[in-house]
Structure formats: C-alpha cells, structure tokens
A = this chain, B = another copy of it.
Amino acid sequence: MGILTNLILDYWLYGVTIAFGYILAILLYDTKNDKNRAGVAKNDETDERYAFPDSTSDAKDKEEADGGLNLENADTRVDHEAGKEHIPFTIERLSKAEMTRRSQEFYQEMNKRRSVRFFSDEPFPQEVMDNIIRTGGTSPSGAHTQPWTYVVVKSPEIKKEIREIIEEEEEVNYRRRMGDKWVQDLACIGTDWNKPYLEIAPYLVIVLKQSYGIAPDGSRLVHYYNEISTSISVGLVLAAIQEAGLVTLTSTPLNAGPRLRKLLNRPINEKVMLLLPVGYPAPDATVPALKRKPLEEFMTAI
C-alpha cells in the first residue's frame, strides 16, 4: 500500500470530523443568514410588490399595517389628537367654463417652465422666497408627517462653500466615472463640473427629506413615504417659482449630500435630496431644445 493509502487509513476519522464541523457550521450559519436575507428581500421589490424605499424596516412594518395609507388625513403618532376632530370643508365653486379656462391657463403657465442653468445675480425679495417655500409646506404627506426641510442659502460665503463641495464631487464623477465620449457629449450641451450659477443665483434652496422624526422622549417616529412626500412638496415649490416669474434648475447634488448636510448643520435624520438655485434667468440664458411628450404618450383614458 502506498503512503497515501496509509495516511487515509490512519487519519480518515479526522477527515470525517472536520467535515462534520464544517457542515454543522454552515447549517447554523445559514439559518441565521436566511433570517437576515428575508428582511432584505422584503425591501427589495423584486418586480411586483410595492417597495418602501423611504423607511427603515421598523417603518415598513408600520406602513404595511397602515395599508392603503393616505398621504394626509391618516392617523399618526405625530398628530394623533388633532386628527380625530372633523371640520366642514368647502371650496369655491367654479362654473364649467371657468374651470376649463383656469385649468388651461395654469397648464400654459407651467408649460413655460424650463430648467435653467444661466442665472442673473439680481436679488429678489426674501418675502417672495418665503412664499415659495410656504407653498411647498402645503403639500400632502404620509400620515401628515410633513417630512421636509428647506434650507435657503443667501450668504455668499456659504454659497461659495456649496459650490466648492459640489464641483469637487462633480470633477471626481466626471474624471473617474464617465467615459471620454460621454464627457465630450455633455460638453456640447454645456454640462460639465463647473457650476458658476451656484454662486450667481441669489438663493440656493437645499431640500432635505427627514427619513424619520425624533419624539420628545428621543425615540424615532416613522415618516411614512418621506421621499415621495418631499418630492410632491418640491412639485408645488416649482409651480410657485414659476408663478413668481423666477427660474430654477432641479438638480440632485450626487455624492455631495453628506458634506452639504454637515455644512448646513442639519441633523443625521435629514438627507439632502435636491438643490434648487432660484433667481431671474441671465439675459442671454439658453436651454436645450428638448420637447415634452404629448398628452397621449403618457395618459390613457378608460
């Protein structure tokens, strides 16, 4: 018999025990991981089930329990008592002709809106800015949690710091993460990491979502659908900017969020979602010749 056979005969039992330990470990480990993985899959929205990207798993359980939640009106720990009392609701009644005219006019006004990246440095009244943000505060929100924070920056020093942070991150994005071809393409439409408008526009509005709230006793409060609610609020802000005869650029300061949050001294439960410079357009402002889809391409009536 060869040496190998001898070795096997002498030590096979050790091999078996190692294998036994190995299998035991995997079994124990798998059980533990399955539980973790189940949690992840639940949040994952493979393709059909509605996902709750906004919520921690705690929040998710609460949301599931509150099935068919309405983005307002619903019962909540935040404003529980107030929600119980109902009051009469009336709205000014418009004639059919009047509502047709108004809906047409409002559409035409909103349809003039374009995202603009060329700003004038001409200031406008703080009161206008306040009214614009107030309008955002009329948005519905999951369980009336109003999970948005608007930071309005007028200070030239802070605007300069914001520009530095965003351009630094942008340059990394452009140089390291994008192909040369793409960078060239973007150059054609005037998009690169230089964002002088961040210092030129009289106001920068940084929109943060409150991922969760903090109760007086320090415990976390669930903020249902905080990202959807904050985005709807931004829709109202965009309408208000347009109504005021001003322009903005709806932008997502990618990868700069954490640094911006710290610069603006916002708490850890808030996350930067969007940045909106607001002002008059520059006299020589241009926009890309983009078209919008006609109604029949995004609406179906049945």
Contacts and interface: CB of A to CB of B under 8 A. Distances in A.
B50 A53 contact: no
Contact of A47 (B114, B166, B268): B268
A191 B73 contact: yes
Interface string A32-49: 010000001000010111
Contacts of A150: 298-300
A17 interface: yes
A172 B67 contact: yes
Contact of A285 (B88, B117, B251, B264): B88
A162 B190 CA distance: 47
Interface string A52-82: 0110000000011111111111110001101
Given A68-B193, A281-B91, A302 B264 contact: yes
Given A245-B92, A286-B87, A103 B128 contact: yes
A238 B228 CA distance: 13
Copies of this chain, how many? Answer: 2
B21 A288 contact: no
Contact of A173 (B68, B71, B229, B253): B68
Contact of A232 (B133, B135, B185, B231): B231
Contacts of A114: 72, 89
Contact of A84 (B75, B129, B135, B288): B288
Contacts of A102: 243-245
A302 B154 contact: yes
Nearest to A233: B235
A201 interface: no
Given A17-B17, A234-B232, A115 B70 contact: yes
